[in-house]
Chain A
Amino acid sequence: MTDAVSASSSQLQQQPPSLTATPQPNADQQPQPDTVLSSPSTPTAKPPNNQSLRFISIISRHDKPLYIQSFNSLPNSSPKDEEENNNNFLKYNFLSHMALDIFSSPSSLNLREQQYYTYQRHVHSASASGSNSASSNTSTTAASTSDLGVILLFIQDGIEVYGYETNNGLKLIIGLSNNSSSNTPPPHKVNYQDIKSLFQSVYKCYIRLICNPFNYSLATSSSSSADSDQTIDNVTFDNNIAKIVKSWI
C-alpha cells in the first residue's frame, strides 16, 4: 500500500525539489529542551478556535520550497490511516504549489488588494461602533506601510490556505481546516489578528534560524542565484514550529 503511494508521489511531483520531510504527528511529540532558545519567542496564547492547523510551508523568493510540514495528522495506527496521512501530505504539497501561482499572478494582485481593503473597512466599521480600537490602529499602520498582510489565497478541499509574503519575497503558507460542522464557514470569521500573529511567530522562527552564523546553506553562494536555497533541515527549527502549532490549537 505504501508502494502505491510512493509511486504516485513520483509521478505527481513534477517540481524538481522533492522534499524528504515526512508528515510529522505532532500531538504526542515532546519538543526537546533546546539550550539556545532561551528568550521567549513563542507566540502569545490564542483563543481556542475550531480551526485546526494542517500544514505550514515556507517558500523562498525564487519559488523553491524550503520547508513543508504537515500537522494534526491521524495517528498511524492502521495502514489506512497511514495512507491517508501520506495522501494528505501530497495534497499539502500541491496546495503549496497552487499558492505560489496566486502569489505571483498579477491579476490576483488586485484581488488581494480588494480583499485587504474590505478587511480594513470591516475593521474600521467595527471600531466606529466602539470595539477593538487597538487592532484597527495596528491595521491602519500596516496599510500605511504597504504591508500586504495575511491573505486568504483559496479554499480547496475544505482547507483554507492563507499566505503571507515578507518584504524579502519569502512566502509563508499556512493551511487551516475547519473542524466544526458549521454549515457556512466564511473565511473572515477567523480572527485576522490571530492568523497574522501566527505568521509572525513562524517568521520569527525562520529569522532565528537564518541568523545562526553556522548555518552554512546561506553562506556558500551568491544571493541572486536560485541554487542558494536549500531545504531547512534543523531540529531546533522543527521543535519551535511544533511549539507554535501546539499553542495554536
Chain B
Amino acid sequence: MSKSSKYNGDDIWKNNVEKINSELFTLTYGSVVAQLCRDFNNNYHEVNNQLDKMGYNIGLRLIEEFLAKTGVRRCQTFRETSEIISKIGFKIFLNIVPTIENWSSDNKTCSLILPEPNPLTEFVELPITTDSKISKELWYSQILCGVLRGALQMVQLDVDVNFVKDVLRGDDRTEIRLKLNKVLKDEIPAGED
C-alpha cells in the first residue's frame, strides 16, 4: 500500500520510542498471568476475560500515544488499518511485525500471525501435566486482543478480536482473528446542535 510507506515503523522504533528491557516485560507479564490464574482458582475463562479487560483499558490510552508518535492519518479502508496496525503499531510497541493473512471476501476480517519469538511468551510453558485444561482454555496473550479492541474503538471502529491458534497450546503458529463489525459514528450529545 503506497500510503503506509510514508510511515516507516522501523525509523520510528529506532528514534522516537523509549525502550525497556524485554525480559523485564516478559517476566512481569508472566507473573501477572500466573497471579491471575491463582486468584481465579484456575478458572481460565475468567482469566481470559480479565486479561481482555486489562488490554482494553491499555488500548484506550495507547492509541493516543500511537497517534502522537506517528501522526498517521485516517485510513480509508480496513485493509489499510490492519497494515498500519501490524507494520507500525506492533512494531513500535513490541518490536514485532505480525503478518496479515486470510482476508475474508468482504474485506472485513483478517488474521494476524504473530511471529516467533513472541515477547510475551518467552520462557513460558503451560503446565499441562499439573492442569490439563489450561491448554484448552487459557489464551496466554489475550491482553493483545483487548489492546486492539480498545485502541480501535477510540478511532471509531468496532471490532471483534480473538485468538484462534497459539503456539503455547501446541499449534504451529499464533493467530489472532480481527473482525470489523461497524464504523461507529460520533453521536451529537443531546441538547447541542
Q: A192-226 interface mask toward B, CB cutoff 8 Å, 1 = contact, 0 = none?
A: 00000000000000001001111110010000000
Query: Nearest B residue to A235 by beta-carbon distance?
Result: B129
A235 to B125, CA, bound (A): 11
Query: Nearest B residue to A36 by beta-carbon distance?
Result: B125
- Known contacts A38-B116, A39-B117; A213 and B126 CB within 8 A of each other: no
Q: Are the C-beta atoms of A213 and B27 separated by less than 8 Å?
A: yes
Q: Which of B28-36, B83-91, B141-149 contacts A (4 or more CB under 8 A)?
A: B28-36
B window 129-154: CB within 8 A of A: 129-130, 134
Of the candidates A208, A213, A214, A234, the one having the most CB atoms from chain B within 10 angstroms of its own CB is: A213
B116: chain A residues at CB < 8 Å are 38
A208 to B130, CA, bound (A): 19
- Known contacts A36-B124, A36-B125, A39-B117; A211 and B168 CB within 8 A of each other: no
A236 at the interface (CB under 8 A from B): yes
A36 to B126, CA, bound (A): 9
B12 at the interface (CB under 8 A from A): no
A35 at the interface (CB under 8 A from B): yes
B170 at the interface (CB under 8 A from A): yes
Q: Are the C-beta atoms of B117 and A236 separated by less than 8 Å?
A: no
Q: Are the C-beta atoms of B122 and A214 separated by less than 8 Å?
A: no
Interface residues on A, range: 10 to 19
- Known contacts A39-B117, A219-B34; A213 and B170 CB within 8 A of each other: no
B26: chain A residues at CB < 8 Å are 211
The residue that B30 contacts in the complex, of A38, A211, A234, with Cβ under 8 A, is A211
B33: chain A residues at CB < 8 Å are 213
Q: Are the C-beta atoms of A213 and B167 separated by less than 8 Å?
A: no
Q: Are the C-beta atoms of B123 and A214 separated by less than 8 Å?
A: no
B127 at the interface (CB under 8 A from A): yes
Query: Nearest B residue to A237 by beta-carbon distance?
Result: B125
Interface residues on B, range: 20 to 34
Q: Are the C-beta atoms of A211 and B34 separated by less than 8 Å?
A: no
Query: Nearest A residue to B167 by beta-carbon distance?
Result: A35
A164 to B121, CA, bound (A): 29
Q: B10-44 interface mask toward A, CB cutoff 8 Å, 1 = contact, 0 = none?
A: 00000000000001001100110110010000000
The residue that B124 contacts in the complex, of A39, A214, A219, A234, with Cβ under 8 A, is A214
Q: Are the C-beta atoms of A214 and B125 separated by less than 8 Å?
A: yes
A43 to B15, CA, bound (A): 34
A35 to B37, CA, bound (A): 22
Q: Are the C-beta atoms of B126 and A214 separated by less than 8 Å?
A: yes
Q: Are the C-beta atoms of A213 and B117 separated by less than 8 Å?
A: no
Of the candidates A36, A214, A219, the one having the most CB atoms from chain B within 10 angstroms of its own CB is: A214
A234 to B125, CA, bound (A): 10
B126: chain A residues at CB < 8 Å are 214
A219: chain B residues at CB < 8 Å are 34
Q: Are the C-beta atoms of B167 and A214 separated by less than 8 Å?
A: no
Q: Are the C-beta atoms of A212 and B167 separated by less than 8 Å?
A: no
B23: chain A residues at CB < 8 Å are 211
Of the candidates A39, A208, A212, A235, the one having the most CB atoms from chain B within 10 angstroms of its own CB is: A212
In the assembled complex, 9 residue pairs joining A and B whose CB atoms fall closer than 8 Å, in A order, are: A35-B170, A36-B125, A208-B123, A211-B23, A211-B122, A213-B31, A215-B127, A216-B130, A219-B34
- Which 4 A-B residue pairings sit nearest by Cβ, starting from the closest? A213-B30, A211-B123, A213-B34, A214-B127
